[in-house]
Amino acid sequence: MRFRSTTLFFALLLAVLLLSVTNCKSDKKPVTNWKRTSNELVIRLAAEPGGLNPVLSLTDQYATQVMRHLFLYLMTIDPQTGQLEPSLVIAAPKIDPITEGPWAGGLRYSFEIRPEAHWDNGTPITGNDYVFALKAALNPKVPAQRIRPYLGMIKDVEVDAANPKKFSVLTNETYILALEAVVSTIPLFPAYNYDPEGQMAEISLADLIDPAKANALESDPRVQAFADRFTSERYSRDPSSVLGSGAYLLESIGEDQRFTLVKKQDWWGEKISNPPSSLQAYPDKLIYWPVRDQAAAVSLVKSEELDIAVGIDSKDFVDLKTLPGVTDNYQFFTPATYAYYFIYVNTKNPKLSDKRVRQALAHLLNVEEIIETVFYGLGERVNGPVLPMKDYYNKDLPLIPYNVERAKILLSEAGWIDSNNNGTADNMVNGERIELKLTYLITNVPAQEKIAAIFKDAATQAGIDLEIISKEFQAQRADLNTRNYELASGALIAPPVLDDFYQVWHTDSDTPDGTNRTSFGNAQSDELIERIRQTLDKKERDQLYKTFQKMVYEEQPMLFLLTPQSRILVHKRFDAFASPLNPGFFPNQYQLLESLR
């Protein structure tokens, strides 16, 4: 049996034990020459969000930074404690085993939504809204293929007729991340806005959950009508139509793609005493400003135009810490991150299908030099898809050393030698002698450009002609989705929960809509992934984790680099903190200094 569910919130973000949380409280005495003293935050994004659709935009790391203030989940992780905490619901669910009926052997999760919670039109938020969110994601005409595997374990939702704020989610699986999947895969959003004609109200959740019935519904005009409306630009970028239960409203999207959010008047969350992190909303306005160019971002910090700057190039970050004009205005944070950098390898490409070639490429990456010269020491090497901070990290797998001569030997063993003495290795592939020329796809980020230059130099020494191709983030992602690449820069969030390798490593995810972008895997690795997902015994599961790491290590479908430290600047007029939890900063929780209020 294959288990398809996982938790998108933690795949992405994207969003539990935090190993370190960096706190830095501002001096309560404000600097008198600050450029602005307003209770609003201008926040740098490294690229534009593709849109703000509450389902379709969940895989966009930049969109999710904005959407966290517009839409709420049942539960979220507190960035300072690292614990799952109630958001829309009153408390963590009551969990009971299902002992009879079609889902016997599964679990029932019983929730109650906060009595204060209501939509902007005054109607209460109920379990029916959770059902609607599921229906929208499961609609077969909505292109949410990346979301549906995360919801596969949910088999029914029962809403209390007497009190619709009470509801139960029924699952049929034993799954290590079952609770996270139920509470934080998709946020809630109002049916009155996203389905004003009530088409999805006429379609049963049970029919959408059943694969055969869902396929039959593809020809249903109601299903198509909802999908046409829901996927339109209106529900991604129109401020009047992008609506959730969060503390902020989308006020505008400017010509420069600034996303301006304003705090709602009389928002229901302010009626809750001791609110959880997701219901805190201190700034009056949040302005997300896409600034792709690094030099421009640094200039905006120096001129005090940004209140939060992230993703600053490491050298620039270190240099800024030496400038009194900047240090007087900004707090500097470098928390650990639950993320890692790597290089995707297209294992289906004939030039890269031999694992010895991939192993050779790993020996051509001088990761120590990359950490010191590109990240200025703000990073730690990794040997695979599990971060060193996790207790099932396989320490027995040595870090692959930089060794050009070893790379040459491995290439020779795989048949790649310079037979015509032109400086580039060649080999017979599919009956034709070809040169070992590889393309390396990156985005136009200085750190990636520097890594590529270091890699290219070593590759040349080993007889590999490496061509660097730079594209915008969205264009690079499109090529990855269609496997139109040979090597490509990559980064993934490895969330502070148990790792579920299904979406990135299972062969079922090797589709244009899946994220197994290396085309890694076989029956053995698939079985191992599935066993990990259903093994509740920690000792047994940890051994399975280590076995999987060894398998990936030997195959090298990704060339693993490092886990970076975040580089975050926050203006000193706010009491701020940073966290390993993505994206590292949480502006809704930042309070203006008391002396400025």
What is the value of pTM for the model shown? 0.79
Beta bridge partners of 572: none
Portion of the chain with pLDDT greater than 70, in percent: 95
The DSSP symbol for 594 reads G
Summarize pLDDT for 85-134 with one digit per residue, the tens: 999 999 999 999 999 999 998 999 999 999 999 999 999 999 999 999 99
Residue linked to tokens 């905490």: 85
Asked if residue 181 lies in contact with residue 5, where contact means CB atoms within 8 angstroms, the answer is yes
Phi-psi region of 278 (alpha: psi -120 to 50; beta: other; left: phi over 0): alpha
Residue 514: which pLDDT band, with cuts at 50, 70 and 90?
confident
Mean pLDDT of 474-492: 94
Average of per-residue pLDDT values in the chain: 92
Residue linked to tokens 């109607």: 123
pLDDT of residue 524: 97
CA separation for the pair 86, 501 (Å, rounded): 26
Residue linked to tokens 């020459």: 33
Residue 443: which pLDDT band, with cuts at 50, 70 and 90?
very high
Per-domain boundaries in the chain = 339-564
DSSP-derived secondary structure for 444-494: S-HHHHHHHHHHHHHHHHTT-EEEEEEE-HHHHHHHHHTT--SEEEEEEE-
| Distant-in-sequence, close-in-space partners of 190: CB < 8 Å, separation ≥ 6 | 119, 120, 121, 123, 129, 243, 244, 245
Summarize pLDDT for 309-323 with one digit per residue, the tens: 998 989 999 999 999
- 339-564 belongs to which homologous superfamily? Dipeptide-binding Protein; Domain 3 (3.10.105.10)
Residue 2: which pLDDT band, with cuts at 50, 70 and 90?
very low
Cα–Cα nearest to 167, from 251, 90, 220, 222:
90
